[in-house]
Amino acid sequence: MSKKKAVQETPPAGASGPAAIPEIRPGQSIELLKELHILTRDGKLNQDSRRKLKQVYHLYQFIEPLLQEVRQQHPDVQLVDHGAGKSYLGFILYDLFFKSLDGAPRIYGIETRDELVQKSRELAARLDFPGMSFLNLSVVQSIESTELPAAIDVVTALHACDTATDDAIQFALRKQAQFIVLVPCCQAEVASVLNRNKGKSLAKSSLTEIWRHPLHTREFGSQVTNVLRCLQLEAHGYQVSVTELVGWEHSMKNELIIARFKDLPRKRPTERLQEVLQTLGLEDMQSRFFATL
């Protein structure tokens, strides 16, 4: 009697429910995971999609405790995701956390590309995710928009390009956000100011050697931008932590900034922010980082 060699294959998720794939959590939407290309069309996980799912859970583990803190205070958790794109983050958060909440919790996805906004609206309707709204707005426009509530609990901005991250910070400060989660991207403004003032700074300090070469100007400018953002948040009473999104090999931008409002003393970080701007010849940036101080 011949024996066939057993072939190990991930069983289709739809065949016996999400439990058939250990990585998928109970209650997760299989249709959503397919739409996000985390599951293949036949409901399986391949090596690439398993890596994507691991990345999703890694990011979720940072955000979920923040949402739980807000939930303990009130059930109507309000989150705004800036530069939402296809609203990958928003849909995952809603599926894993928001859809099980009572009350009227809501996720707002802010995106400038109308076609992506329309697709997200259609997907939310198809998945029966009523607590999701998608607005065709820039981050700056969202600050004054009457389509958003006056207060927001959590603000996220993942890979919002260049100054959009700073605009998201201004939004969060205006909305008195309890938590701010940022993965900055493509910040070139500070580097351009460093480059513009390089001639004047060279004579003043040997520190200018740090950004004398164009490549160093770009890299140093990116680093300084995030340092200034952290000081700005601390100058508004936030406790700030900076960590790395481990496993996001597909992106060079994997710095994760999490700010938690603690109403901490503001004087020292405000002074440090001013000192860094002056030391590096970035006085031109005062209006951006001191806009709401």
Query: pLDDT tens across 45-69, in order?
Result: 888 778 878 888 888 999 999 999 9
Question: What whole-number distance in Å separates Cα of residue 174 and Cα of residue 92?
Answer: 26
Question: What whole-number distance in Å separates Cα of residue 67 and Cα of residue 271?
Answer: 32
- Report the chain's mean pLDDT, rounded to a whole number: 87
Kindly give, in sequence order, each residue whose CB lies less than 8 Å from that of residue 6, ignoring residues fewer than 6 positions away. Answer: none
Mean pLDDT of 199-228: 84
From residue 91, give the alpha-carbon distance in Å to each of 63, 76, 78, 174, 185.
Answer: 13, 17, 14, 25, 21
From residue 193, give the alpha-carbon distance in Å to each of 89, 127, 267, 280.
Answer: 33, 46, 26, 10
Residue 79 confidence (pLDDT): 98
Residue 202 confidence (pLDDT): 58
CA dihedral 93, 95, 97, 99 (to 10 degrees): 130
pLDDT at 123 over 70: yes
Residue-range domains of the chain with CATH: 23-186 (3.40.50.150), 188-236+265-285 (no CATH)
Q: What would the pLDDT profile of 175-194 be if each residue is shown by its tens digit?
A: 999 999 999 877 788 888 88
Mean pLDDT of 95-100: 95
Residue 263 confidence (pLDDT): 97
Question: What whole-number distance in Å separates Cα of residue 169 and Cα of residue 157?
Answer: 9
Q: What would the pLDDT profile of 148-185 be if each residue is shown by its tens digit?
A: 999 999 999 988 777 889 999 999 999 999 999 999 87
- The pTM of the full predicted model, rounded to 2 decimals, is 0.88
Mean pLDDT of 277-285: 89
Closest listed residue to residue 116, CA positions, set 96, 90, 95, 140: 90
